[in-house]
Amino acid sequence: MRITIAVALVALASPAIAADLPVPAPQLPPGYVPYQNYNWSSVYVGGNAGYGFATATVSDDFGDSISEDLNGFIGGGQAGANYQIGAFVFGIEGDFDWSNQSHTTSAFGASETDKIDWVGTVRGRLGGAYDRWFFYITAGGGEGQLSANLSTPFGSVSASKSRTVWTAGAGVEYGITENLSARVEYLYLDTGDINLATINGFNITGRVQDNLIRGGLNLRLPF
């Protein structure tokens, strides 16, 4: 009888003892960090540099067209702001880049250089964050300046004109520290068809399409 009572007492006490034991913490996969640990809400300024691949096309109403490639280095700066809600990040950014995208044609002692001098955009950004990684799409509008310089043995002449553009692209940004991030992005810019001249009722139009691949650093001030 004593053994039976002792067994019953142990059985009744076991749940209470088990409840007092520490519960082991859940095991997370190696390297796992919740996205909430990094705050993408911030204002920022930064710089960028990269390369541009543009095509300038002139066409007429008869379907005839000629084109040239304007390729070269670009670089400049940007500023903007982000706001994070959960895993979603949205914001706005403005940038300005100087451009060395150009093409030179020479013939009979004369040469012509067509060039993109600069481009600036204002864009919205929207994407998703996973801790220090931010993947985004971007779109907006802007303006760029095109110039042409004709040089001959008798002298030279140059002209420049700014044009509006629409732009869209995508990128990825990584938070190196709380106040510094690095990114790589792609932007497509397009002037659309521009009426260059009308001769005897026939239109001559031009269009510039640009592809920019840029890397950059941002100095962030979280809020």
Task: List pLDDT tens digits, range 31-51.
Answer: 554 445 899 999 999 999 999
Residue in 81, 77, 93 with CA at minimum distance from that of residue 40: 81
For the beta carbon of residue 34, count every other beta carbon within 10 angstroms.
10
Task: Report the domain count for the chain.
Answer: 1
Residues contacting 109, CB < 8 A, separation 6+: 152, 153
Helix (H) or strand (E) holding 109: none
17 inside domain? no
Could you report the per-residue pLDDT of 100-142, keeping only the tens digit for each?
999 998 877 788 888 999 999 999 999 999 999 999 999 999 9
Between strands 110-130 and 133-152, the pairing is antiparallel
70 inside domain? yes
DSSP class of 35? G
**How many Å apart are CA 73 and CA 61, to the nearest integer?**
34
154 inside domain? yes
Overall pTM surpassing 0.75 (yes/no): yes
Q: Give the domain extent around 95.
A: 39-222
Residue in 96, 82, 74 with CA at minimum distance from that of residue 213: 74
